[in-house]
Amino acid sequence: MIDFRSDTVTQPSLAMRKAISEAMVGDDVYGDDPTVNELELWAAERHGFEAAMFCSSGTQANLLALMSHCERGDEYLCGQQAHNYQFEGGGAAVLGSIQPQPIENEKDGTLCFKKLAAAIKPDDPHFARTKLLSIENTINGKVLPLAYLQKARGFVDQHDLKLHLDGARVYNASVALDVDITEITQHFDSMTICLSKGLGAPIGSLVLGDSTLIRKARRWRKVLGGGMRQAGILAAAGKIALTENVDRLRHDHANAKYLAQKLTNIEGFNVNIEHVTTNMLFANVDSAIDQLQIVKELKGEEILISAGNPMRLVTHLDISRDDIDVFIAALKKAVE
């Protein structure tokens, strides 16, 4: 299968499978799993945080960060397009009694500080208590500028808020900017990273922050049923994701650009190539094109895409240049 639906579909490499089979493990709820402990210590230091915790998913990691920053009746500011507002089942509200305060994202994915400031509530029993600003990088494949992150830090300091990064794809941002990851992470009080997307691990995410925050998060993780036992078999693959699969993200980015160029040559498909800076592209598709029929035909050729307008296509470590050529040829045929 050539699968463009998401970078979550990546298969663990041989090196990961080997590390999984050889990992030393213990009961992580007791703090006894050496492979998990090693990953958490390494990840905290690598990203400039006091502590880190391995979790089952990005959704859980974001929820734990939100629930550790905010109490019942608090709120977090975020984008309308934020994953931890739109696509996590309303978890912060459902399970944390935390109110989201979404703000329309600007075209480049950023949030306007004027609009954010206007949404901060005064200290008054009528209102939820504004505690946190949560931003996302990359957001829908877009990289937030470093200068913007610095401004966000200044903004939260000025307003006595905390700053969280949903960094599910933060390494796509650092690779696209060609900067060390700490150029991004230095501005944040907490951060989450997905190991199971473009980095290629089968399962797992990290939440990072100061020791107090991570202690709280560890408690909530247990409450949410996320205390895992011999989780070292997953952490072993996660470590490889972070040490061996970062630099190669640049190939995914180049492939996405290549795909965008090929796609715009097909009648009815339109991509703004300049907007393709990481591993994701969004194509506007002519409404005369029967997308569901095309999805079906491509599936017959062992190619998976998701219908949508814009149509989202994602490159990752299991998609090569040749795969893209195969897809483009099949798509041309299907459109005709």
Selected from 13, 35, 59, 68, the binder of ligand PLP by CB under 6 A is 59
Question: How many residues form the binding site for ligand PLP (CB under 6 A)?
Answer: 11
| Closer to ligand PLP by Cβ: residue 10 or 57 | 57
Of 30-38, 55-63, 240-248, 271-279, the window that binds ligand PLP (rule: CB under 6 A) is 55-63
User: How many CB atoms are located within 10 Å of the residue 155 CB?
Assistant: 18
| Contacts (CB under 6 A) with ligand PLP, residues 61-120 | 62, 83
In whole angstroms, how close is the CB of 248 to ligand PLP at the nearest point?
A: 19
Q: Which helix (H) or strand (E) holds 8?
A: none
- CB-based contacts of 246: which residues, under 8 Å, 6+ apart? 171, 174, 175, 199
- CB-based contacts of 237: which residues, under 8 Å, 6+ apart? 12, 16, 17, 19, 20, 195, 201, 202, 203, 204
Name the one residue in this structure whose structure tokens are 């650009």.
257
Name the one residue in this structure whose structure tokens are 């995410």.
205
> Would you give the DSSP letter of residue 121?
P
Q: Which two tokens stand for residue 246?
A: 């970062």
Could you say whether residue 278 binds ligand PLP (CB under 6 A)?
no
At residue 264, the 3 state secondary structure works out as helix
Per-residue x/- marks for ligand PLP, 120-159, CB under 6 A?
----------------x-----------------------
Of 12-20, 57-65, 90-98, 105-113, the window that binds ligand PLP (rule: CB under 6 A) is 57-65
From residue 9, alpha-carbon distances to 160, 188, 200, 318, 319 in Å are 40, 29, 8, 8, 11
Chain Cα centroid distance, residue 4: 17
Selected from 33, 166, 189, 252, the binder of ligand PLP by CB under 6 A is 166
In whole angstroms, how close is the CB of 227 to ligand PLP at the nearest point?
A: 17
Using CA atoms, how far apart are residues 22 and 9, in angstroms rounded to an integer?
24
Selected from 2, 16, 161, 168, the binder of ligand PLP by CB under 6 A is 168
Selected from 4, 35, 58, 133, the binder of ligand PLP by CB under 6 A is 58
Question: Whose CB is nearest to ligand PLP?
Answer: 58
Per-residue x/- marks for ligand PLP, 188-217, CB under 6 A?
------x-x--------x------------
Q: Which two tokens stand for residue 124?
A: 């008054």
Binding site for ligand PLP (CB under 6 A): 57-59, 62, 83, 136, 166, 168, 194, 196, 205
